[in-house]
Amino acid sequence: MSRVGKYPVAVPQGVTVTMAGKTLTIKGKLGELKLDTTDDVDASVVDGKVVVKVKNETKRARSQWGTTRATINNMVKGVSVGYKKVLDITGVGFKAAAQGKKLTLNLGFSHDVIYIVPDGIEVKTPTPTQVEVSGANRQRVGQVAAEIRSYKRPEPYKGKGIRYSDEVILRKEGKKK
């Protein structure tokens, strides 16, 4: 049973929420996000809050109830505050450079890795060994950060690679003579 779904989502100042048919549109200072609701739940805007109600008492409907409410909450937070993931690059000669919609990574390969940044996502490199991925859509920010990390995952012996700034790499002991 969902305990998350019964709480309404508060809409902050500067964010507008409109419902057209089954499509929920949320606009804020950082962009516009849309959500197509399922047949199992019904979303409505009441007194500056988004209320999600379940239509029928099936197990799928109950699970979609909490999921839809959490997704709407993430969208409201995304268009008002935004989401950010920070990646750290560790290794001799490993570095990153962002130019427009292109991220160039030097990761010890014989060639540079060039990542094309999708629309709605912004990538910055405050230092050559740090990459900041930011945007309004939480899922897309996480997906882009995961794709960049997948080019050179951190290895447990020397700790070289791309890792999240809050990630802890468990180090292993090397060979013994």
For the CA atoms of the chain, what is the radius of gyration? Answer: 21
| Rounded percentage of the chain residues whose pLDDT exceeds 70 | 99
What's the pLDDT score for residue 1? 54
State which CATH number among 3.90.930.12, 3.30.70.890, 3.40.50.10420, 3.40.190.10 fits the domain covering 9-80. 3.90.930.12
pTM over 0.75: yes
The residue ranges of every structural domain in the chain are 9-80, 83-164
Domains 9-80 and 83-164 share a fold: yes
Cβ distance 134 to 78 under 8 Å?
Answer: no
Per-residue pLDDT tens over the stretch 77-113: 999 999 999 999 999 999 999 999 999 999 999 999 9
Supply the mean pLDDT for the chain. Answer: 92
Stretch 64-73: mean pLDDT? 92
Cβ distance 132 to 125 under 8 Å?
Answer: yes
Stretch 18-30: mean pLDDT? 91
**b/e sequence 63-85, b meaning 16+ C-beta within 10 Å:** ebbbbbbebbbbbbbbbbebbeb
**Six-digit token pair at 68?**
């839809």
Stretch 57-62: mean pLDDT? 88
Terminus-to-terminus CA distance in the chain, angstroms? 57
Per-residue pLDDT tens over the stretch 140-159: 999 999 999 999 999 999 98
State which CATH number among 3.80.10.10, 3.90.930.12, 3.40.50.970, 3.40.50.1100 fits the domain covering 83-164. 3.90.930.12
